A and B are shown apart, each in its own frame.
Chain A
Amino acid sequence: MPPDPQPAATPGNEAVAEQVFAALADPTRRAILAALASGGPATATDLAARLPITRQAIAKHLALLAQAGLVTAEPGERRRVRYRVRSAPMQVAQQFLAALARDWDSPLGALQDHLDRTAAPPLYETRGHHG
């Protein structure tokens, strides 16, 4: 059975994706997320040692990212809070990117060429249009 028709974008995942894209649009928050993604969970102090950003600014951005649900805070060593990237909202954003990145025009153009090449002579000499 084909799946049930999916509801249009709900405020829920639309809002989640918006949080992700808003965070990524800011160079500081992008750098923090990139550092957490590549190096794994880290404290504000760890990040300050790796990025050309003050610890205070990093802490402020981490708090915003945690509030938006893009990172989670967890207990780290020496009672410092450690942050890790949450994959779930990133995957919601990725679904939206998948829709933008899906290219049907090229395959359909290739289908047209394939049929012209291999199938019986076209019914008409003029080629159909696509798009």
Chain B
Amino acid sequence: MSFPDRIERTVELAHPPAAVWAALTTAEGLAGWFGNEAAIDLRPGGAAWMRWTGEGFTANMRVERVEEPRVFGFTWHIYGLPDDDPRRTYVEFTLEPVAAGTRLTVVESGFAQLPDDAHRKSYDGNAEGWAKELGELAGYLDAA
């Protein structure tokens, strides 16, 4: 079996790159098609988030690349992993002007990255720590 590390899609949009750029990199734009609510600090290292109100889910992103109006990249958490897991995938949008409007490519990569050994140790440590906390709580309740 072979799992993908990266996912790639290309779409042709009948709108100029400036309009596509605004849809990808502004809070109003992102909230209009991706999430239901969004905020973005558009600079490398800036924070961004999108919220899906129906699902009660929020995705936190970190802006990585801003090269208006051609490249926009961010990292985000891998869905399904614990919140404190440091692994993130990198999403990069590339906008290319074409006669019909914009050719937009999205690449998301990092699905197959190795877990961080240091983190894995701390995670196992946390699991043990949790069992210990429960033991202490039981002892406290027994004593009370």
Q: Which A residues between 87 and 131 are near B, CB-CB below 8 angstroms?
A: 87-88, 91-92, 94-102, 104-105, 107-108, 110-116, 118-120, 122-131
Contact indicator B9/A131 (Cβ below 8 Å): yes
Could you name 30 residue pairs across A and B whose Cβ atoms are closer than 8 Å? A1-B44, A2-B73, A2-B92, A3-B90, A5-B109, A7-B5, A12-B114, A13-B112, A14-B2, A14-B3, A87-B124, A88-B120, A92-B115, A94-B80, A95-B112, A96-B112, A98-B78, A108-B106, A110-B34, A111-B11, A111-B13, A111-B24, A111-B33, A118-B32, A120-B15, A124-B100, A124-B101, A126-B100, A129-B12, A130-B11
| Residue of A101, A119, A130 with highest tally of chain B CB at under 10 A | A119
Question: What is the CA–CA distance of A123 and B13 in the complex, to the nearest angstrom?
Answer: 9
Q: Does A38 contact B (CB under 8 A)?
A: no
Chain B at the A interface: SS class: mixed
| A-B contact number at CB 8 A | 164
Partner of B109, one of A6, A94, A105, A126: A6
Question: What is the CA–CA distance of A104 and B5 in the complex, to the nearest angstrom?
Answer: 15
Question: What is the CA–CA distance of A21 and B2 in the complex, to the nearest angstrom?
Answer: 13
Question: What is the CA–CA distance of A102 and B90 in the complex, to the nearest angstrom?
Answer: 13
Interface residues on A, range: 35 or more
Given A2-B92, A110-B33, decide whether A8 and B23 contact each other with a Cβ distance below 8 A: no
Contact indicator A114/B23 (Cβ below 8 Å): yes
Contact indicator B64/A13 (Cβ below 8 Å): no
Question: Smallest CB–CB gap between A63 and chain B, Å?
Answer: 21
Contact indicator B9/A10 (Cβ below 8 Å): no
Q: Does A18 contact B (CB under 8 A)?
A: yes
Known: A3-B90, A13-B112, A115-B33; 4 extra A-B contacts, CB below 8 A, are A17-B3, A87-B127, A98-B79, A116-B14
